[in-house]
Structure 1
Amino acid sequence: MEIDEILGDSKSVALPTKSAIYVWGYNQRGQTGRTEKDQKLRIPRQLPPELFGCTAGISTRWLDVACGREHTAAVASDGSLFTWGANDFGQLGDGTEESRKSPEKVKVLESEIVKSVSCGANCTAAIAAPRENDGTTSTGRLWVWGQNQGSDYPRLFWGAFMPNTVIRQVSCGSVHVMALSEDGLLQSWGYNECGQLGRGFTCEGLQGARVLNAYAKYLDEPPELVKITQISCGEYHTAAISETGDVYTWGLGNMGQLGHCSLQSEDKELIPRRVVALDGIHVTTVACGGVHTCAVTEKGALYAWGSGQVGQLGLGPQTSSASFIFKDSQVMLRNIPALVIPRGVRLVACGHSHTLISTSDGRIHGWGYNSYGQAANEKSTYAWYPSPVDWCVGEVRKLAAGGGHSAVLTDACSLKELCEFRLAESITLKNAAHVEDVAFRTSSDALVRICGRLRELHGNDREWDP
């Protein structure tokens, strides 16, 4: 008898869910949170609950995970925020500049219920609500810390917004930050040498917060105010989605990362400009990498543009009529969005030079720079095309990609998935054949793939240490 027959419609059973965070890739600064000494951790592994101070066997749940250049942050279901990795600029929020290889709770935020977190190159920002609230305090307050944020501890930051404004989303770039209010307004602060703050000019030095109020929908018409629903910061560029599903980009565009045929200010766009190549396509998610950008449509199609020098566009190593050679070098770029995957994409995350997606069939794929294994299972320096990442079980809720490492948050939302979690934690080479047989008969595809990968890695005489 199959598991589904025993349990019935397990999806309809109201059960506490369990979550897992898988981290892998470059680990020189401890950003994976794993104890292995190798600096290249190619296989995604689940971080054990004990690492976060939880009792063994206790079901843990996670709400969010984010990767910076060399640090990582995760939000637990009780509203606690954990950080680990590099801390040269105080981005871990513990008041020091000492790096850590193991997660620790951000104590300053223990009085807050953290909802989401964003990691920039060397800074961190979180949205939280006070645990004790009489109804007069915002339920979406912004806290910032690290490089250019004025503190090694989290500090409450309203910027150009009125106090008690509800913050919907925050995104951190290399040296700039964008915050989105519940009303669809954007404010920006940080450095602006490349126009990444969207103010219509460039300038040197650290800039204070200011609300954006000019969006170029058409070049032959005056800029207007647009309501924004989602944002993403790249290294020196920014992208946003309007309530109508249009994509706007601005900042540095020298590698085609803005998606425009031509630029209005040398190699930059100084105010948000609509990507006209996506006219008629309703975009729901946008993600910015170092010098590339990706967008997912409401129909699950994935578009990418910008530099493809190390494969981060997923379009292969060859040039085509839509590709351009930059200044007689071999740097491939596309300044017009190209269709990479026509359907089925649910989530996307862009790291500095790699990309991750999850699809409607529950699988994870990645491509781009892969020297540390951050983009794909295959052992190659570059993954030119979408390649599988097959070591995770559960329903993918969040993807995160950093400078050279990656993270995935998955949930077990049914009894069947809870069983998959338990089996995945106990697979060895000795029991892999039996587990694979059970997994195959119960349509547990993720477990089948893990068993297959295990045999590929270890042959027939070595045991896998999960």
Structure 2
Amino acid sequence: METSISPPGTSKQSAVRKPSPGSSLKDLCLVSKQGSIAEVESALALLKKSGGNIDGRNAFGLSALHLATWRNHLPIVRRLLDAGADPDARDGESGWSSLHRALHFGHLCIAGVLLQFGASLALEDTKGRTPVDLISCPVSQANGDFPDAVATEVFSWGSGTNYQLGTGNAHIQKLPCKVEALHGSYIKTVAASKFHSVAVSSNGELYTWGFGRGGRLGHPDIHSGQTTAVITPRQVTVGLGRKRVNAVAAAKHHTVIATELGELFTWGSNREGQLGYPSVDTQPTPRRVGSLKQRIISVAAANKHSAAVADTGEVFTWGCNKEGQLGYGTSNSASNCIPRMVEYLKGKVLRGVSAAKYHTIVLGADGEVFTWGHRLVTPRRVVVARCLKKGGNTNLKFHRMERLQVISVAAGTTHNTALTADGALFYWVSSDPDLKCQQIFSMCGRNIVNISAGKYWTAVATSTGDVFMWDAKKRKDETPIFTRVHGVKRATFVCVGETHMLVLSSIYHPEYPPKPKSQGLKSMLEWNGGTEELGEDILFDDVQPNSGLSGSSGEMSKGVPSLKSLCEKVAVEYLLEPKNSIQLLEIADSLEAKELKKHCEYPAGFSYSQPRLHFHSGSFFNYECFF
């Protein structure tokens, strides 16, 4: 039994004391928090004998059911409910019911039991939030006023020196924290830089926050000196009217956006001509780049230069060209304030662009990657090729697809990354004149769906909603080693600034297309044939095969899933193993969870006519481990 600090007066009393309603309630709260089911039974008997109230509160305003729900102990929760505990009883601090608490912590099985006992989904806490508002697990897709609007949460961490975190914290935040001001805004994309952050909602609203002197935030009162920072997200209204923002890029001193109609707007510092228009040193509010008539679909911004891709496939650059980062075929120290097409790539159909301090990268519609800068004044193709290694007498082929199709690129000051259609990750050193591109083998099997690169950090989001990060400052010349960022779930988009990170999480985690069969078990077996040169441990650490649930025809695959069906789905995907299938079978039977029951019977290898295990004192499964 784990050791914990108990509230004053909650310690076990002497056996010789006379029972009283107050002391017996304290005993029930204590064992609900850290005891066994047998101890709960004893405490309930004592409470009944003394005439106490099962819904009574301890010194912190919490009932026994609140504590058992927080603990994620299913048998104790069910026993308390059977004994008459009120599932809608609210705590004394925030007004949370047990269902509020279960959904906030992601205890879906507990939430299912509470709903069976009549817990209300409409009950509001002191801030007017229902239990569904506090969901921290994939439960439902919440649509806004626009077809692509999905309920999202924005998390930030890192340095808050310039209030770029959006949480009001001006210090270093070591763990991801939710940006509460954006709750309910249906954010679809975010951008981060050294001094500020930007977010765009599904209906095209633009929000900025951070240090605003110099005009980078787009709020006129910041530029006028009334204040120097916006500590929480604030909508940009001046200069845009009713225009809907479609793409955004944030740099150290300026911001670039493209509207839904393809219009280009910039604001902030223009000392190097990075705003795209002359005769202005600083622009405090969004201003259209009138010289660019093409419809813009993608934008990028770096310290002193900017870039944009038109729907015709052409790429335009402007700003500082000291390192050849504009791709004009020459380098000079003069400002180039008027957007100009990169002639070398004329005839290529480009679809994406990314920029860092001294260079620019573009992605073609055919998956080709080109880069320039770091004294390379004309675009040069980056070869993202199959990696053929030789181990003994066996050729080891890492990719079974006919061709590597790059679908995303990210430019970083130190390193650049490229993501292929099959979820493989590649990188090369930004200043390497040979542009030697290598695969990051440690991320094989992760099925990456989004990438971002900053000054030193590189971050990726996987199809399972996990975020991994690599800090190149600590390992500048070593093989990239990614570590998982704890505290983030259901991530769909990541953005790395210079000293902080932003992550976009969806309440409903989207189903990504399954990986090709050629990359399944067969390709894994091929890896084992000759990997002495690469090291066997680095290739498949923590790699888990994809679940086959996405193709099932049951309740879980039809429309917006119910809470019960998602409880079953999460349990099957993350919990079910042959060694615990009998325990899960017992739970599935008690909850009438048909889908979970069906999947439990297969690994168990028996029918329901056989004897089943039952819960006993102190025997329970900790569901919190997989959330």
| Fold agreement, TM-score > 0.5 | yes
Q: State the Cα distance separating 1:278 from its structure 2 match.
A: 3.4
One-letter identity of the residue aligned with 2:324:
G
Quote the residue 1:388 is aligned against: 484
Q: CA deviation at 1:170?
A: 0.5
Contact 1:246 1:278 in 2 (8 A): no
Larger radius of gyration: 2
Displacement of 1:284 in angstroms is: 0.7
Q: 1:76 to 1:448 in 2, by over 3 A?
A: farther
> d(CA) in 1 for partners of 2:230 and 2:140?
41
CA spacing shift, 1:271–1:152, aligned 2, 3 Å: same
Question: Which amino acid is 2:502 matched to?
Answer: A
- The equivalent residue for 1:75 is 200
Q: 280, 285, 308: which one pairs with 1:153? A: 285
1:367 is matched with which residue? 470
Matched letter for residue 157 of structure 1 = V
1:306 and 2:429 matched: yes
1:269 aligns with 2:366: no
User: Matched residues in 1 for 2:140 and 2:163: separation?
Assistant: 39
Look up the match of 1:398: 493
Tell me if structure 2 keeps the 8 A contact 1:235–1:291: no
The 8 Å contact of residues 301 and 355 in structure 2, kept in 1 or not, is answered as yes
**CA–CA distance in 1 between the matches of 2:483 and 2:311?**
36
Q: Which AA in structure 1 matches 2:340?
A: R
Equivalent position amino acid for 2:379 in 1 = P
Partner Cα separation in structure 1 for residue 316 and residue 207 of structure 2 = 26
Matched residues in 2 for 1:418 and 1:94: separation? Answer: 46
Partner of 1:65: 190
Q: For 1:57-456, list aligned pairs within 5 A.
A: 59-95=184-220, 96-97=222-223, 98-108=228-238, 109-129=240-260, 139-148=261-270, 149=275, 150=280, 151-159=283-291, 161-162=292-293, 165-207=294-336, 208-215=338-345, 225-252=347-374, 268-276=375-383, 278=385, 280-306=403-429, 335-340=435-440, 341-343=443-445, 344-368=447-471, 385-394=481-490, 396-413=491-508, 448=625
Task: Report deviation, 1:19.
Answer: 0.7
Match of 2:538 in 1: none
Shift in Å, 1:80: 1.5
Look up the match of 1:46.
178
Supply the distance in 2 between the matched residues of 1:415 and 1:171 (Cα, whole angstroms): 38
Distance 1:60 1:83, change over 3 A: closer
Counterpart code for 1:119: A
Q: Deviations over 1:157-206 (max 9, x none)?
A: 143x32xx321010001111001111111111000001100000011121
Q: CA deviation at 1:209?
A: 1.2
Q: Supply the distance in 2 between the matched residues of 1:178 and 1:90 (Cα, whole angstroms).
A: 19
In the aligned structure 2, how far is the partner of 1:417 from the partner of 1:363? 22
Distance 2:314 2:178 in 1: 37
- With over 3 angstroms needed to count, the CA separation of the structure-2 counterparts of 1:418 and 1:307, relative to structure 1, is farther
Query: How far 1:105 moved relative to its partner?
Result: 1.2
Q: Which amino acid aligns with 1:85?
A: G
Alpha-carbon shift at residue 291 of structure 1 (Å): 2.4
Number of aligned residues: 353
Task: Give the 3 Å change call, closer, same or farther, for CA 13–368 of structure 1 in structure 2.
Answer: closer
What secondary structure does 2:438 align onto? Answer: strand
Structure-2 change in CA distance of 1:44 and 1:233 (3 Å): same
For structure 1, the residue ranges without an aligned partner over 5 or more in a row are 130-138, 216-223, 253-267, 309-323, 325-332, 376-381, 421-436, 451-466
SS at match of 1:304: strand
Higher strand share: 1
Query: Judging changes above 3 Å, is the alpha-carbon distance between structure 1 residues 12 and 389 closer, same or farther for their aligned structure 2 residues?
Result: closer
Counterpart contact for 1:251–1:270, Cα < 8 Å:
yes
CA contact (8 A) 1:369 1:383 kept: no
After superposition, the CA RMSD in angstroms is 3.6
Q: Secondary structure at the match of 1:214?
A: helix
**1:369: Cα distance to partner?**
5.2
Identity %: 24
Q: Deviations over 1:35-71 (max 9, x none)?
A: 234x2101101111xx25x7xxxx4311111001221
1:147 maps to amino acid: S
The change in CA–CA distance for 1:347 and 1:293 in structure 2 (over 3 A counts) is same
For the residues of structure 1 that align with 2:417 and 2:295, how far apart are their CA atoms? 27
Q: Structure 1 residues 41 and 157, CA, compared in 2 at 3 Å: closer, same or farther?
A: same
| 3-state SS in 1 of match to 2:464 | coil
**What 5-or-longer segments of structure 2 have no aligned partner?**
1-107, 117-137, 145-149, 387-402, 509-559, 567-583, 597-621
Contact kept, 8 Å, 1:305 with 1:334, in 2: the verdict is: no
Cα distance in 2 for residues equivalent to 1:87 and 1:307:
29
- Sort the Cα spacing of 1:350 and 1:230 in 2 relative to 1 into closer, same or farther, 3 A: same
Over 3 Å counting, the alpha-carbon distance change for 1:305 and 1:447 in structure 2 is farther
Determine which structure has greater relative contact order: mean sequence separation of CA pairs < 8 Å that are 6+ residues apart, divided by chain length: 1
1:100 positional shift: 2.2
Cα displacement (A) at 1:113: 1.3
Amino acid aligned to 1:407: L
- What displacement does 1:393 show? 3.0
Report the Cα distance in structure 2 between the residues aligned to 1:119 and 1:282, rounded to whole angstroms: 27
Match of 1:258 in 2: none
Q: 3-state DSSP class of the match of 1:100?
A: strand
Following TM superposition, by how much is the alpha carbon of 1:225 offset from its aligned partner in structure 2, in angstroms?
A: 2.8
